[in-house]
Structure 1
Amino acid sequence: MAILAAPAQATVYASTVIASGLDNPRGLAFGPDGALYIAEAGALNPGGPTVVGAEGEAAFGTSGAITRLFQGTQTRTVTGLPSLTNAAGTASGPQDVAFYNGVGYFVVGLGNNPAVRTNELGSAPEAANLASLYSFDGGAVTKIADLGSYEAAFNPTGDQVDSNPYHLTAGPSGLLVVDAGGNSLLSVTDAGTISAVSTFADMGYDAVPTGVSVGPDGAFYVGQLTGFPFPPGGANVFRIDPTTNTQSVFATGFTNITDLAWGADGSLYVLQFTDAGLLNGGTGSIQKLNGDGTFSLIYGGLAAPTGLEIGADGAFYVTQFSASAGIGQVLRIAAVPEPASWAMMVAGFGLLGCALRRRRVTVRLIG
């Protein structure tokens, strides 16, 4: 009997909506309790004081939240958090969640000079809580560090003062926070001490660092959105040595990166907000960085994705519709188990083995 191996099958991924109705969902992380925590930047804030930023006039309010998803139950466990929203519904508020030593943390963004918190927005005392790092325990919140004040006082890049804390992750001695406005990577201890780890220089356009992840080698990896004109293929992944803080370009050719995550297979996965570039619109994707520096599509067709997390189950968890209020989602994206298929040829009998029937599923196929 001769058994002929079937050709290698392409990996098939399918997505499931596991959370919906979110307001500008951004970063997400699994907690020590096994629940998935999602940062919501907020919804429209009518009637609050306003300030003009890069995306036009935005009103201050307290519609930001942290949502907990556990065993299919979706609950806003932390509410009343600072938020700036414009007329289109895009918000800057709670941007990401992370856990360090079993404690939950989140950052709140701004996207402006920190001085606006007490100037243009001064009639709302809570506006002072923008551009800050917090810890949370259930619904209780504690302010850990004022990242906006650090940018105003020290301005690590020496450029225009601007702060927009965007993503964070657990580091070796506290939290690593990317300030997309300040073009810097910061380290913050659980006692609130802030220090600059690295800065990101202009490349003919603004760097705009976004996602951060600690690699299997212990180094810090940071992806960049890039600034105007948001060139397709112009986004890099940088590697920062954790001992010397030396920065180097680790991977190139990406477009508008919003987050990074390392898989259990030792591969780096990159989330692109849009594959065609922000000025061209279109959908985003998850890309896998290959060993030769190229990258492969894992899953495309994502609508304004911002947060990426890889679960203990090996699935990808992604926030999408992250620039809209009320329609935000979290997707679980997982490989579809493929039934074994083979052909058997039996010498002398002319018998051809049967093929297994495959289930019909709505999926996206990659090569």
Structure 2
Amino acid sequence: MKNSNQQPINLRSIYQLLLSFLLFFIVSCEKETSEYTGKVADLKANKTMDAGPYEFPGGLVFDISATPDGSIMVGLNEFSGERSIKLIKNGEISTMIGLDVATDVQGVESIGAGNAFFTTAGTDLAATGELYRASKGRVRMVADLAKFERDNDPDAFEGLQWKNQQCEEEFTDNGDLVFSAGPQNNPYKLTAFDGETAIVADAAGNTVLQATIEGDVDWKAILTPPLNPEGEWMQLFETTDGNEDITCYVQPVPTSVAIGDDGYVYVGELTGATPEGLPVGLSRVWKMPADGSNMVCSEIDGSSECNVLIGGLTSVIDLEIGPDGLLYVVQFDSNSWLSSVVSSIPWAGGSIIAINTETGQVENEVATGLVYPGAITFDKKGKLWVLENKLFIGESAIVRMLDY
């Protein structure tokens, strides 16, 4: 039996996008890096070419979102601790609003020019992680997603109750506690029905949450583990709470959500670490009715309304409905997210594919060989923009229009 302090890299190693942006500075010392100093005032923008690339040195970017006036919102977390939403427009980078929040800005969703929903990162035992609305130069927390996780922890206590809280406990090699047994959350990407209701992918909670500006929160869906070749949930390790043996499973890790004009919500998953090898080909995109609630997305005894649209993917990090009605899916790296945090696993290139939302068939391979693509968005002219996390290869995060 494997004790919890001997477990391999698991879901909690991917806190805040697997903590990969921060772990980059710790575990990738064998990879070529460069100094990241300076303030966002030194941002570089190609003013003669609106398509970019636009560089964001000295900071982390998790998401981008197009606005109705043609701008591209960028959620920026500076290494200095300052956080803001930036705007790219007409070859310039400006500040839409500064953000006084406790943890990093993760998902960003435009709900109009100068207006946005955004999520903040979770911490141990779901101490933080909220939904905010920025509007007319003001910012307010509208839904306490962390409290919802602490009070409910749906993947442990609702639906199929597949995750035991003891499985969240994690220690360093020196025996120091990293994450505690108990509720864990990490609100990541989001989308919005309108200016009052948002849908959030909670990566550490393995849930899709629906929240309103009045503070109402409920779980829309719980995602369940991928299957092994025998058609059973894939086991990661075994542990104990001191009284009984506990089986811990590979975690699905929902990262991204999109709402289609067809009345369905689409959810992409990253997939946590597996007991052997890389988590390649295990990620799925789920399809569920937009008006549904309390659904269990499982290939074993799941809700009939929630089904796999496409499987066999690797490290899905973002979804977007294109102007052509196809679902655009971003895969972080073909060697999985582990290549961004483990120096011995080489970068192999990320990709964007376009999926038919009715058949689940790949209609178009939009781009390959991308450098850790983290997010995409379509501007008002239907042009596709991409965020590439080039800080992993010693450069800066960049945002650019994709020519395809």
Tell me the TM-score normalised to structure 2 length: 0.64
CA distance in 2, matches of 1:292, 1:149: 36
Q: Is the 8 A contact 1:306 1:322 kept in 2?
A: no
Which residue pairs with 1:318 in the alignment? 386
Which residue pairs with 1:328 in the alignment? 397
Say yes or no: does 1:145 pair with 2:143: yes
Which residue pairs with 2:349 in the alignment? 283
Question: What code does the residue aligned with 2:402 have?
Answer: I
Which residue pairs with 2:193 in the alignment? 171
- Considering fraction of residues, name the structure with more helix: 2
**Of 242, 265, 284, the match for 1:236:** 284
Which residue pairs with 1:189 in the alignment? 212
Q: Give 3-state SS (helix, strand or coil) of 1:113's partner.
A: helix
Query: How far 1:306 sits from its partner (Å)?
Result: 1.1
- Considering fraction of residues, name the structure with more strand: 1
Which residue pairs with 1:201 in the alignment? 224
CA distance in 2, matches of 1:183, 1:155: 9
Q: Is the 8 A contact 1:303 1:320 kept in 2?
A: yes
Say yes or no: does 1:218 pair with 2:216: no
Query: How far 1:292 sits from its partner (Å)?
Result: 6.0
Query: How far 1:139 sits from its partner (Å)?
Result: 4.1
Query: How far 1:179 sits from its partner (Å)?
Result: 0.6
CA distance in 1, matches of 2:369, 2:270: 18
CA gap of 1:152–1:292, structure 2 versus 1, over 3 A, is closer
**Stretches of structure 2 lacking an aligned partner (at least 5 in a row):** 1-49, 157-162, 166-182, 227-233, 235-249, 294-304, 339-344
CA distance in 2, matches of 1:292, 1:30: 26
CA gap of 1:312–1:32, structure 2 versus 1, over 3 A, is closer
Query: 1:241-266 deviations in whole A, cap 9, x for unaligned?
Result: 12344311111111100001111212
Q: Which has the higher contact order (CA 8 A, sep 6+)?
A: 1
CA gap of 1:43–1:135, structure 2 versus 1, over 3 A, is same
Query: 1:159-216 deviations in whole A, cap 9, x for unaligned?
Result: 4311101011112661011111101111111222111100111222110001100012
Question: What code does the residue aligned with 1:232 have?
Answer: V
Which has the larger displacement, 220-229 or 317-326?
317-326
Which residue pairs with 1:105 in the alignment? 117
CA gap of 1:80–1:266, structure 2 versus 1, over 3 A, is closer
CA distance in 1, matches of 2:292, 2:191: 19
CA gap of 1:131–1:316, structure 2 versus 1, over 3 A, is same
Superposition CA RMSD, Å: 2.4
Query: How far 1:77 sits from its partner (Å)?
Result: 2.8
CA distance in 1, matches of 2:353, 2:202: 23
Say yes or no: does 1:259 pair with 2:318: yes
Q: Give 3-state SS (helix, strand or coil) of 1:307's partner.
A: strand
Which residue pairs with 2:371 in the alignment? 303
Question: What code does the residue aligned with 1:318 have?
Answer: V
Tell me the TM-score normalised to structure 1 length: 0.71
Q: Give 3-state SS (helix, strand or coil) of 2:214's partner.
A: coil
Identity %: 26
Which residue pairs with 1:66 in the alignment? 85
Q: Is the 8 A contact 2:143 2:212 kept in 1?
A: no
Query: How far 1:138 sits from its partner (Å)?
Result: 5.0
Which has the larger displacement, 31-40 or 252-261?
31-40
Q: Give 3-state SS (helix, strand or coil) of 1:330's partner.
A: strand
CA distance in 2, matches of 1:81, 1:283: 35
Write out aligned runs for 1:106-125 (5 A).
106-115=118-127
> Larger Rg: 1 or 2?
1
Q: Is the 8 A contact 2:85 2:99 kept in 1?
A: no
Query: How far 1:101 sits from its partner (Å)?
Result: 6.8
Query: How far 1:96 sits from its partner (Å)?
Result: 1.6
Question: What code does the residue aligned with 2:291 have?
Answer: T
Say yes or no: does 1:27 pair with 2:63: yes
Query: How far 1:301 sits from its partner (Å)?
Result: 2.0
Write out aligned runs for 1:268-279 (5 A).
268-279=327-338
Which residue pairs with 2:73 in the alignment? 37
Q: Is the 8 A contact 1:112 1:164 kept in 2?
A: no
Query: How far 1:112 sits from its partner (Å)?
Result: 3.2
Count of residue pairs the alignment pairs up: 282
